[in-house]
Structure 1
Amino acid sequence: MAVSRLIRPGEQRLVSFDEFRESVSDAFVPLEMTSADHDDFRGVVRGATVGAVRISEVTAAPHVIRRTPRTIRAANPDYFKLGLQVGGCCILAQDGREAALTPGDFAIYDTTRPYQLSFDDRFRMLVVMFPRHLLRVPPDGIAQLTARRVSGRQGLGAVVTPLLRGLGEQIADASPTVALHLGDAVLDLVAAAFAEQLHLADGPTPLSRGDELQARVTAFIDERLADRELDLQSIAAAHHISVRHLQKMFEAEGDTVSGWIRRRRLEQCRRDLADPRYRELTVSAIGARWGFADAAHFSRLFKATHGSTPGTYRAAATPLTETERRIR
């Protein structure tokens, strides 16, 4: 997916309640929205997509927005959203918790479960949306983090907040390669900030033996994604566990080992396809580079995951310059 340019502040067009409601659902996931004053409501959503990360800025009048069981049934993509409060205040509710966000604070929420955001006054919020599997925080940890306020004034929050605030302009002006790396940097910093939150309450808390093993296993897989011989037997043997134990560990999180490997390989392929440095490599060569020996199978998997063939994705993400088009 190409980097779409963020609208500059002077180019904003405030829209009515109905238009805004449609814009929000189109930019994110299907949502329900209510406002005490439809007639005077004004708001705008502007954003850019960088690889798998969607970064949007929302400015609007007071309203309440809900992700309900009905809207989840309508479309249930597997995403996390991070909301960074830039102006005004927000109450985020999910999983029986509420986070009161003031400017500089942020919190994470899960689109696969109901949530609510309440804005009592005019506000501005930066929203970062990305596939859940890209956030490298232990699954048990994520269950503790939704709808928990992270202060932008201390710890890693003080690093993440200014980065996200300035990211819109950086992405708008960046080359596709730089923008791609910015998106990856955001995910790494966000993961670090939430990992820090898991240990703040009572000082560092060791992971359980199961969590520690799973962290070692996923790191082992990531280091060997290019190895076509990577399979359940080699992973289990490297960690001195049975194949069945390995399978059950992933099944406990609603996943499979092969599914995890496939998604991580496809993510590496997506990054390479969006990187102009690899433009001279064919699509099939990039697939083979990350363990997909069958080009047709790779193309089908990529399209099922990203909505377009690898070639179409690359053309949108790294358009040729005028000089390159003339040469070709």
Structure 2
Amino acid sequence: MIETVFRSEDLPVADRVDAWREKLSQIHAPVDLVCRPASDFRAQQCVVQLGSALVWSSVWSPQTIRRTPRLIRSSDPEMIHLSLITKGTVGFRMGGPDALYGPYELRTNDSSRPFDILLGPQGEGVDAVSIDVPRACLPLSSDDLDRVIGHRMTGQEGVGALLTAFLTTLGDNPRSYTAADAPRLETVLVDLLATVFANALDAMDRLPAESRRRTLILRIQAFIRDHLHDPDLTPATIAAAHHISASHLHRLFQDRETTVSGWIRHLRLERAREQLADPARSDVPVHLVAVHAGFEHHPVFTRAFRSAYGMSPRDYRRRALLQETGDGPTAD
């Protein structure tokens, strides 16, 4: 996995706009830029390469990006672009009425069609996390992709929220992954992007069965994490929430080294462990930490915690907080 970083402030003022134009053209397709005077121009970008796909976080000063018919005739790599806007507003024009996008909306464009992107049309800065992926990598027909590009989609619910979580996690912590993680992350990214598009088209049945299966697993995992605090979270309730049978749910987890219930218990213990080690939560009684993690019965929690981590929750908290202040023993 390759990570590259661009900062306009690292360059002489006179070179910044041209360097940024070149960087954008390399990632998506050749574009033109309309910017404020170079002295006011600002851009930052962190790019992570996942096989044929790129994920990049960016910070922009107000500017306009244009892909013109002339540029398309000169070069068209047939790239699909999606941006998750996290701060500011973005105006967009692509063969239809002008649109304005705000935080946690998903905006798309296609290197094969002319477009204008107005970043910060009211003079504000814009933060975003973006995807660029070759059209050929997506398991949807060319007609379906033509229909969905330009659709207004949300990153706050449904599979859009899954894509948002994936992009923000990757954008915030690119160095926590290695080159060995790239193929798996690329598969997750392409599955989520294709599912967001298919959902917008009401055409989920057009996705390959394996893509639907992998995305269903991601949805189930997100559901479990969101409901860990609920003591009634069981395989039966998870299956019902996703309109599948309990046996189907267990089959989906066959590739993991644990059962559904085992994974729930592991996540609950990890959540409790993190809270016990948090100095900001040091005044929260241990039994409430257990409740917040989804354990109804304190003795059950204590036994499970000791089995997993080799000490009681109270001893773990004491050790973790002493290490935090530098007063206690450190791990070998």
Structure 1 length-normalised TM: 0.56
The answer to whether the Cα contact below 8 Å between 1:23 and 1:45 also exists between their aligned partners in 2 is no
Supply the AA of the counterpart residue of 2:167.
L
Alignment match, 1:122: 125
Equivalent runs, 1:33-182 vs 2, <5 Å: 33-119=33-119, 120=121, 121-182=124-185
**Cα distance change on mapping 1:139 and 1:26 into 2, 3 Å:** closer
C-alpha deviation, 1:158, in angstroms: 1.5
C-alpha deviation, 1:189, in angstroms: 0.7
Supply the AA of the counterpart residue of 2:169.
G
Identical amino acids, percent of aligned pairs:
25
Q: Distance in 2 between matches of 1:141 and 1:45?
A: 30
C-alpha deviation, 1:92, in angstroms: 2.2
Deviations 1:199-257 (A, max 9, x none): 2xxxxx798xxxxxxx59x889xxxxxxxxxxxxxxxxxxxxxxxxxxxxxxxxxxxxx
Q: Comparing 24-33 with 169-178, which one deviates more in the overlay?
A: 169-178
SS in 2 for 1:167: helix
Number of residue pairs aligned between Structure 1 and Structure 2? 202
Supply the AA of the counterpart residue of 1:122.
G
The answer to whether the Cα contact below 8 Å between 1:48 and 1:55 also exists between their aligned partners in 2 is yes
Supply the AA of the counterpart residue of 1:32.
D
Structure 1: runs of 5 or more not aligned: 200-204, 208-214, 221-328
**Cα distance change on mapping 1:141 and 1:95 into 2, 3 Å:** farther
Alignment match, 2:2: 4
SS in 1 for 2:30: coil
Equivalent runs, 1:1-328 vs 2, <5 Å: 3-7=1-5, 12-14=7-9, 16-119=16-119, 120=121, 121-199=124-202
The answer to whether the Cα contact below 8 Å between 1:46 and 1:57 also exists between their aligned partners in 2 is yes
Q: Distance in 2 between matches of 1:55 and 1:146?
A: 18
The answer to whether the Cα contact below 8 Å between 1:97 and 1:148 also exists between their aligned partners in 2 is no
**Cα distance change on mapping 1:36 and 1:51 into 2, 3 Å:** same
The answer to whether the Cα contact below 8 Å between 2:129 and 2:171 also exists between their aligned partners in 1 is no
RMSD of aligned C-alpha atoms? 2.6
**Cα distance change on mapping 1:170 and 1:36 into 2, 3 Å:** closer
C-alpha deviation, 1:128, in angstroms: 0.7
**Cα distance change on mapping 1:76 and 1:87 into 2, 3 Å:** same
Q: Distance in 1 between matches of 2:144 and 2:182?
A: 29
Structure 2: runs of 5 or more not aligned: 211-332
Q: Distance in 1 between matches of 2:8 and 2:30?
A: 22
Q: Distance in 2 between matches of 1:6 and 1:79?
A: 20
Q: Distance in 1 between matches of 2:113 and 2:73?
A: 10
Q: Distance in 2 between matches of 1:134 and 1:65?
A: 25
The answer to whether the Cα contact below 8 Å between 2:29 and 2:79 also exists between their aligned partners in 1 is no
**What stretches of structure 1 move > 4 A for 4+ residues in a row?**
none
C-alpha deviation, 1:17, in angstroms: 2.4
Alignment match, 2:233: none
Q: Distance in 1 between matches of 2:17 and 2:37?
A: 9
**Cα distance change on mapping 1:206 and 1:194 into 2, 3 Å:** closer
**Cα distance change on mapping 1:189 and 1:63 into 2, 3 Å:** same
The answer to whether the Cα contact below 8 Å between 2:92 and 2:100 also exists between their aligned partners in 1 is yes
C-alpha deviation, 1:12, in angstroms: 4.5
Report which structure shows greater RCO (CA 8 Å, sep ≥6): 1
Q: Distance in 2 between matches of 1:98 and 1:54?
A: 27
The answer to whether the Cα contact below 8 Å between 2:198 and 2:204 also exists between their aligned partners in 1 is no
C-alpha deviation, 1:84, in angstroms: 1.3
